[in-house]
Amino acid sequence: MPTIANMAKVNGIVISGTPAVSDAHVLIATATASSSATLSFTLGLDNLYDVYEFRFENIHGQTDDKSFGFQVDTGSDTDYDQPMTTTFFQAFFNEDGSGEGLAYSTGNDQATSGDGNGVLSKILKDQGADADQSGSGILTLYAPSSTTYVKHFTTDAQMSQSSNYSQRVLTAGYINITAAITSIQFKFDSGNIDAGEIKMYGIAKS
Amino acid sequence: MAKTLISTHTASADSSIDITSGITSTYDSYEFHMVNMHPANNNVNFTFQVNADGQSGFNETITSTSFRAYLKEDGTGGTLGYDGGSDQAEGTAYQRILSTGTGSDDDQCVSGILTLYAPASTTYVKNFLAVGNGTDHGEYTVNSYMGGYINVTAAIDEISFKFDSGNIDAGTIKMFGVS
């Protein structure tokens, strides 16, 4: 069981909260950004839980029109460059009443055999950096400790796009390795995470 | 505990369900679980709006998106597409969520979850995500995804749910705080 003591400091992120054991959703750790290049969880991803949820709230980028995403790693590696095959689609509508739509975005997916494999898997796209703009949502990661299967995930997020679109982004895919996933990192593709919070929950097995 | 049940609201021929307490800075985000919301009128849409702290009326500015998948019970009409009739661009109307065109047959209803992020923030707009499924009056299953932001930086402390015409004949809404 992760404890506050053994998770006191991970890659510079601030850890708070008390693990609970009586609820289906167990809060494992909280990472709070303050002009942070990355937010990384390097402890707590193990076989205690089948499913992990990362709830990110009011992620605010330092730089306008950048995308926020995640990558994972195994063992003691911290390169965060694992192969994925993913899908990416979004619904969007501008505040001025123009440009509504639902579309797949081929430029933001990844194919294990493609040129962009092993890069950041985007979950917020082209986010605005106005003072009131942010993105919030959930990443669900299934069975990261499996050593048999690839690792599936889904994301569902709502954000303010840089050109004042309301944008809902849904992505899904699998990390195409059978080794256990032991760490996860979130960041923008350029610039710091100015503010925001990510909470890691374990979903109890029973 | 990560999710805390704050309150339960049961409809019985009510024009709306207004939750006017419990939305505070105690929790980071709030989930509203709507179960078997059954309309009095046929072919109506389930909706929500909010009120900002210190303001009056459920009429805050929203920019939102909506898309849905649907299929008729006879196996025809299976479609995925954007739903331009359910979005808003800086609108102040009640926002459709969960489904559209819900029927009022005895066995028809709509269910789903609305997640409202950081309503107590006084810095950011308020993001929300909704997903649900309903029984359309034309015998369709309708799986809808509405998302958006309430374009105010003031804290949100009240929320209202209703059908866009007629009463909520029955149904239950549970408000959870997520910590």
- Which of A25, A57, A167 lies closest to B2 in CB terms? A25
- Average the pLDDT over each of A19-33, A161-175, B80-94 and give the range with the smallest value: A19-33
A29-203 topology per CATH: Jelly Rolls (2.60.120)
**pLDDT tens-digit series, residues A11-44:** 445 444 444 444 578 999 999 999 999 999 999 9
Percent of chain B with pLDDT over 70: 99
Computed over its alpha carbons, how large is the radius of gyration of chain B? 16
Query: By the 8 A CB rule, do B29 and B159 touch?
Result: no
CA pair distance B52, A129, nearest whole angstrom: 23
**pLDDT tens-digit series, residues A73-100:** 999 888 999 999 999 999 999 999 999 9
Task: Quickly state the pLDDT bin for A204 (edges 50, 70, 90).
Answer: confident
Tokens read off for A95: 């505040």
CA pair distance B52, B120, nearest whole angstrom: 9
Interchain pair B129, A199: CB under 8 A: no
- In this prediction the pTM is 0.89
Query: By the 8 A CB rule, do B10 and A35 touch?
Result: no
- Which of A133, A168, A170 lies closest to B125 in CB terms? A133
Q: Are strands B46-52 and B62-72 parallel, antiparallel or unpaired?
A: unpaired
Interchain pair A60, B2: CB under 8 A: no
Alpha-carbon distances, residue B87 vs A10, A175, A179, A198, B18 (angstroms): 41, 34, 43, 28, 22
Which DSSP helix (H) or strand (E) runs through A138?
strand A135-142
- Give the best residue of A59, A102, A159 to mutate against chain B (max B CB count within 10 A): A102
The answer on pLDDT for B138 being more than 70 is yes
